[in-house]
A and B are shown apart, each in its own frame.
Chain A
Amino acid sequence: MKPRRDRTALLAAPMAAWMALFTALPLLYILVISFLQRDETWGVTDILTLDNYRRLLDPIYIKVFTGSIGLAARATLLSLAVGYPFAYAMARAKPKRRAALTLLVVIPFWTSSLMRVYGWMILLQANGPLNTLLLKLGIVELPAKLLYTQGAALLGMVYTLLPFMILPCHTAIERLDPRVTDAARDLGASPAKAFLTVTLPLTMPGIMSGCMLVFVPTMGLYYVYDLLGGGKGAILGRVIHDQMLSARNPPFGAALSVALIALTGAVVALQRRLGGRDIGFF
């Protein structure tokens, strides 16, 4: 009966319109063009075809997909291995210290990601500090090739996305009442057993959130991959970029994107299935 409530909801209309116009519509558009034939210059014809999707099954692109998923999986596991213990230590620190640590994790997230990648380029280059150190210690005879390797690319991904793993894990661990672990210990569980049977399952939503936040962007963050990996091999983001900007084949780029969206959707669905709800990142 109170009309003011309905009017308040209308405040969301401009945002709804904007996002419909610049997110929903473009996505629908690429879904459409992914079924169309490519035009010779830049663009699309109105001829329907499944060729773009057939081309995804080409071994070259299969390899791109498996390579990207593999890289993303490795980056996710590595981030989890580093991020979870860190988040745990952070959550169990004294409140003041915890606030400071949270800030320290967040600051790199605010700085330019290019700049952070650049830091690694300096560190890993042939005459860089790491090689100098290795030479001095006599571990290597000649400067090792560290930069422009798959390892460097993986490191860059982990480095760029680590805060996205730490923060949700931290939120989950912080919310966990430490008394439940105490209760497990009290009932006779060893510390390891208590962790595995109580802490880990209860913080699973945070882990799942973190994994998703690392896994999904990894397949697209091609500039990190390029700068540290030296552009060898290809990840999905790079291929989409090239199809749009170099090969000028929007329909195939669109088909790749649709596949990437499907993959992302599958990961999100899996996360929802395993970890339940979203954990507050904001």
Chain B
Amino acid sequence: MGSGLLREGWDAAIPLLELFDIRKDFGEGDVLRGVSLTVEPGEFLTLLGPSGCGKTTLLRVIAGLETPEAGRVLLEGRDITALPPEKRGVNTVFQNYALFPHMNVQRNIAYGLRLRGEKRAAIREQVERMLRLVRLEGYGRRMPSQLSGGQRQRVAIARAVALKPALLLLDEPLGALDLQLRRAMQLELKRIQKDLGVAFVYVTHDQEEAINMSDRIAVMRAGRVEQLGTPEEIYERPATRFAARFIGQTNLIPAEVVEASGHGELTLRAAGVTVPACGGAAVGDKVSVCVRMERVRCGAARPDGFALRARLAETRYAGGFLRSTLEVEGGLTLEAIGQDALGSRVGEECFVWWDPALAPVVPAEDAA
């Protein structure tokens, strides 16, 4: 079924969507300060960031609902910057679904097809196919007000993909759902995306959602893309303090590079102790060492190689795992999470260490 909906015949060399230096200063939305991006066919790209970072505005620029003051939007190589939304061939799943309250589910899904002037039989067939796709067979005659939040969500998706867009834009589509439903819908959305082979640009502020679903994530802050990469890249090699903090739970240790091997191995001076890390930095650079909480190791016996003396100050149960606070020599405080109590009891002296290859450095200051 899914393959029938696939868009065929594009040149693989041309990205599906290209954004060049999109800027926006006025208007009710947030500002954009020069955003450039590409989206490949069939890709799931997430715009991730806190509220006010410009991610929704960027999505609206792609949809044609906002006009940028500068920059260009190219879809399949064609400049669509000045095109109104109805002429773009890009469809959107809106944040609050925006189902037409005066039309039933069928008529909502058929709306775009009817505007396109398709034959009645073809419309009916496509509507049925869409209802099957989102698993809402038999709900066609319901009014939106008679549906639950999750069902409305599915109708909104069906309505948007009924037109077989090459690119689907989703604006925090799961934001209004409760946690259980949100997790289920994440899988559901991923399945639909795979079935249809359509590219998604997905806006969210939920890092878990972004990591679970995306092929690539664009971490946004204050109208700029802070880092663009696969979930793994962003997790393992954050580019900035902001990216490091926004995804995962992280210790950021301010430090200065004292030795750089040239192979990415670094030795740094932090609060009276010497610590190892990895990444590209020169001697004398002020950086932050990014140590993921689950990668902080601790034990009563000193291991071979790098370790710091510490005292286990506090341990808290955090649902399935423990979160510990460690007071490290030199006045450093580290947070650690793990399955067990790190082999020490509260108040006891212990040793703390981490794998330097999993502790990247990021610049000490984020650009304003």
Contacts and interface: CB of A to CB of B under 8 A. Distances in A.
A–B direct contact (CB < 8 Å)? yes
Interface of A: 1-2
A248 B82 CA distance: 64
Interface in B60-102: 67, 82, 84
Interface in B189-248: none
B298 to A, nearest CB: 46
A2 B87 CA distance: 14
A1 B67 CA distance: 8
Interface of B: 67, 82, 84
Nearest to B84: A2
Contacts of A1: 67, 82
A62 B259 CA distance: 94
4 contacts: A1-B67, A1-B82, A2-B67, A2-B84
Nearest to A1: B67
A1 B66 CA distance: 11
A2 B82 CA distance: 9
Nearest to A4: B84
Interface residues of chain A: helix, strand, loop or mixed (majority): loop
Contacts of A2: 67, 84
Contacts of B67: 1-2
A121 to B, nearest CB: 47
A8 to B, nearest CB: 14
A2 B67 CA distance: 9
A1 B82 CA distance: 9
Contacts of B82: 1
Nearest to B68: A1
Pairs of residues from A and B, 4 with the lowest C-beta to C-beta distance, nearest first:
A1-B67, A2-B67, A2-B84, A1-B82
B312 to A, nearest CB: 42
B82 to A, nearest CB: 8
Contacts of B84: 2
A2 B85 CA distance: 12
A5 to B, nearest CB: 11
A168 to B, nearest CB: 28
A1 B69 CA distance: 9
Nearest to A2: B67
A2 B65 CA distance: 11
A76 to B, nearest CB: 40
A6 to B, nearest CB: 14
A1 B61 CA distance: 14
A256 to B, nearest CB: 47
A239 to B, nearest CB: 50
A123 B180 CA distance: 65
A1 B84 CA distance: 11
A6 B82 CA distance: 17
A3 to B, nearest CB: 11
Nearest to B82: A1
A150 B82 CA distance: 70
A124 B94 CA distance: 62
B69 to A, nearest CB: 9
A7 to B, nearest CB: 14
B46 to A, nearest CB: 29
B326 to A, nearest CB: 42
A184 B84 CA distance: 53
B81 to A, nearest CB: 10
A114 B67 CA distance: 56
B27 to A, nearest CB: 12
A1 B26 CA distance: 12
A2 to B, nearest CB: 7
Nearest to B69: A1
B88 to A, nearest CB: 14
A2 B86 CA distance: 14
B247 to A, nearest CB: 37
A201 B87 CA distance: 53
A2 B83 CA distance: 10
A2 B84 CA distance: 9
A126 B67 CA distance: 74
A84 to B, nearest CB: 35
